[in-house]
Chains A and B, each alone.
Chain A
Amino acid sequence: MTRVSPWLVALALLVAAVGCADDDAAEAAPPEVTGAETPEPAAPDVAAVYATIGDPGPDGDTLVGASTDVAERVELHESVIDDDGSARMVELEDGIDVAAGEGVVLERGGLHVMLMGLETELAEGDRYELTLEFERGGEVTVDVDVVPTVGGDDGGGGHDGQDEAHGDDDG
């Protein structure tokens, strides 16, 4: 039986290692996450995170979880309004679909990341890290800005916002 050259073994290992690296590179990157914000919580124990998740590429992706040091638990939620006008939150145990070519917007009165059991008081101007976990793209950590409770958004979904703010206070 021929003796295997140690050099050949080394070469084989190297090829295998490079092969692994190539596999990693072939995995999808996490989609870009922008505008992550938490309105300063009015309640001491819970807070919501809103953000825009960009196009995950042609295969799409799913946001399957999130974690942060500022809260004991983090869940993915959607606010829904039933036919009788009752608003409630639904925990999305299967995650949030991030559509191929589109992405998804987490916004007031809709999809959001919910922080439960806040361990740090969040005040306007603060910034904290939130790690989002995607099924394909893996983890990405983003900075979340704590914004004023009041102001900014309008109506939850509607965005006629600031253009109406100019002085129509004619009494």
Chain B
Amino acid sequence: MTMTARPLALALAGLGLLLLAGCETGGADALEAGQDGILGVPLEEPVAKPDVVLTDHHGEPFDLRAETDGELTLAFFGYASCPDICPVHMANLTSVFDRLPSTVTDRINVLFVTTDPARDTPEALEGFMGSFDSDFVGLTGDLDEIVDLMTELNLPRPVFEEPDDDGFYEVGHPAQVLAFLPDDDHAHYAYPWGTRQSDFTHDLRALVDGAAAARP
């Protein structure tokens, strides 16, 4: 009897924890540092920075690999007509940049890649990016090109809703920010929706010189 009671009690306790965890809403739980001291969620398989040329929010070509070579690079995929998650992510990263010295932020790229290039022309992106740190780069391109890029990065594809009577539509987009490291220009970490500014600040400071330098 006592042989079976204990595993059952443990299972019930586990279930209780799961149920409690299920009650958490409005963003991810606080991130926990891995053995490398980094708070970002490590990707199972680091992914190479895709070889693609997009158009930046000034209308200039942007060769992803060449422009960000050997630099810590954050990439987020969203769209300008998104009122909630996209601007909050970008606002959080702007606040993070405000907290860090320019000797650090000068060596970090923050990219906002549109999932809605039909509406997000360079001009539209220029308006959107104007609300955030002036060093952040908005990127647009052909939809096929962007979908391929996202697929290469193991991100979910954009999901387009049916336009309403006014032609307005919403677009499902990945919620996380990817971090490409200076060491090998591969994405190694993801920052889920709800990542705190202090956690971003910690990791950007730690990773700006690469993961090798960050090891405790």
Could you tell me which A residues sit within 8 Å of B by CB distance?
A: 39-48, 72-73, 77, 79, 81-82, 84-89, 107-110, 112, 114-117, 149-151, 153-158, 160-161, 164-165, 168-169, 171
| Shortest distance from the beta carbon of A28 to any chain B beta carbon, whole Å | 26
CB pair A86 B88 closer than 8 Å: no
Q: Does the CB pair A43–B80 fall under 8 Å?
A: yes
Residues of the A chain whose Cβ atoms lie less than 8 Å from the Cβ of B175: 81, 85-87
Contact of A85 among B90, B104, B155 (CB under 8 A): B155
Of B85, B87, B166, the contact of A87 (CB 8 Å cutoff): B85
Contacts of B7 in A (CB 8 A): none
Q: Is B196 a contact of A158 with CB atoms below 8 Å?
A: yes
Q: Are A85 and B176 in contact (CB under 8 A)?
A: yes
Contact assessment for A165 and B132 in the assembled complex, using a CB-CB cutoff below 8 Å: no
Tell me if A109 and B80 are in contact (CB < 8 A). no
Q: Is B109 an interface residue when CB atoms closer than 8 A count as contact?
A: no
Q: Determine whether the beta carbon of B159 is less than 8 Å from that of A86.
A: yes
Contact partners of B22 in chain A: CB under 8 A: none
Contacts of B99 in A (CB 8 A): 165, 168-169
Chain B residues positioned under 8 Å from A151 (CB to CB): 91, 95
Q: Give, as a whole number of angstroms, the nearest-CB distance from B211 to chain A.
A: 19
| Cα separation A168 to B201 with both chains bound (whole Å) | 10
Are A156 and B174 in contact, with the CB atoms below 8 A? no
Among A45, A86, A171, contact of B172 (Cβ-Cβ < 8 Å): A86
Q: Choose among A89, A150, A156, A169 the residue that contacts B170 (Cβ–Cβ < 8 A).
A: A89
